[in-house]
Amino acid sequence: MKYSILFLLLFSFKLSYSQVLYLDKGFSVSKKTSTYKTINYAKKLKFDFYKPRKAEGELPLLIYVHGGGFSGGKRNSKNVVRFAKQMAGRGYAVASVSYRLTMQNIGFGCATNSTDKINAFNDASEDISLAVKFIIDHKEKYNIDARKIILIGTSAGAEAILNLAYVYNNKILPSDFKFAGIISMAGAVTTIENITHQNAIPTQLFHGINDKIVPYNVASHHYCSKKSEGYLVLYGSKAIADKLKKLGKSYYLYSVKKGDHSWSIRPIIYSKPEIIDFLYYDVLKQSKRKIETFI
């Protein structure tokens, strides 16, 4: 009997010990505990901050940016809260950020001036930068490793973070600051010419090939005609991945053959294993992989 108990104790210890930080769920996080709080970072803008309850030392940080056409969406929707808790359960801190919804009552389709669309990208990138700067300035308080800050965005949020990483002329963050990685879900940029050897970071891209709002490859936003006010050529996930491939940089392209724009949110619901894999191997371990997956 004693041997059986000893075996069970050793077996349990082995299971616990074999858990891999950032890969396996090993922490506890709940909105009802001190691991969750809402923080005002600029004017009326806020972020919800999640972290593992029993974590020690500096934490890698995921900056999550919601979608909604720059006119709607919430940082604390049900899917976002669930995702944030699950990632905190694997050892990450998560900040789900709100930003100015400059397209409210204006729209973001073919009747909206393309210049206003670009301004919306830049305004959101500015707000995200302010949130990141706030966290960096208080990194000791929140136990954040400023070298391991990763951007994650959905739809408009994905456009904002890609713009921030690869297009936006940032005068808010320190000149030597660099994001550790980026995860875009149905996002695009206005140009790929600014993606260089110097600024390329590990990039994961989820996109439905049949997305009729944000192009998978190269096309106009919403597929607007050249005669429309909102005609704006965008470079989607495939074009971004091709540029990173040409540069010999790390990327992870996840293409859905019959997927539509719903793949702007599906990855945080159904494709978390791919996200966890990318974060661990390509961002934290810097494996420099080049992966293309078609489903």
Q: Which residue has the tokens 């080049």?
A: 290
- Residue 28 tokens read as 């506890």
Report helix angle 156-166 to 114-137, nearest 10: 70
Residue 13 pLDDT class (50, 70, 90 cuts)? very low
Radius of gyration, CA atoms only, the chain: 20
If one counts every other C-beta atom within 10 angstroms of the C-beta of residue 94, the result is: 28
Chain-wide mean pLDDT for the chain?
91
Structure tokens at 5: 């108990």
The confidence band for 21, taking pLDDT boundaries of 50, 70 and 90, is: confident
Q: What is the pLDDT of residues 109-136, one digit of tens each?
A: 999 999 999 999 999 999 999 999 999 9
Answer whether 43's CB lies under 8 Å from 98's CB.
no
233-264 tens-digit pLDDT: 999 999 999 999 999 999 999 999 999 999 99
Domains of the chain, each with CATH number or no CATH? 21-294 (3.40.50.1820)
Query: What are the structure tokens assigned to 285, written together?
Result: 């371990």
> So what's the pLDDT on residue 8?
43
Q: Which two tokens stand for residue 236?
A: 């989607």
Structure tokens at 97: 């950020």
Residue 195 has what pLDDT?
98
Of 85-94, 137-146, 278-287, least confident by mean pLDDT is 85-94
**pTM metric for this prediction:** 0.91
pLDDT of residue 34: 37
For residues 224 and 221, what is the distance between their CA atoms, to the nearest angstrom?
A: 6
Token code pair at residue 177: 């600051």
**CA neighbor of 149 nearest in space, from 134, 170, 167, 168:** 134
